[in-house]
Amino acid sequence: MRNPNFERHKRRTRVEFGAISVPMPILEEIDKLIKEFGYWPSRSSFAREACIEKIERERLKKVKKEQSDN
Q: Identify the pLDDT of residue 26.
A: 97
- pLDDT value of position 12: 78
Domain ranges of the chain: 22-69
pTM over the 0.75 mark: no
Question: What's the mean pLDDT in 16-27?
Answer: 95
What number of H helices and E strands is found in the chain? 3, 0
For residue range 25-64, what is the model confidence (pLDDT) as tens digits? 999 999 999 999 999 999 999 999 999 999 999 999 999 9
What is d(CA 41, CA 9) in angstroms, rounded to the nearest whole number? 25
Q: How far apart are CA 52 and CA 60, in angstroms?
A: 12
Residue 4: pLDDT over 70: no
Percent helix, percent strand, percent coil in the chain, to nearest 5: 65, 0, 35
Residue 5 pLDDT greater than 80, yes or no = no
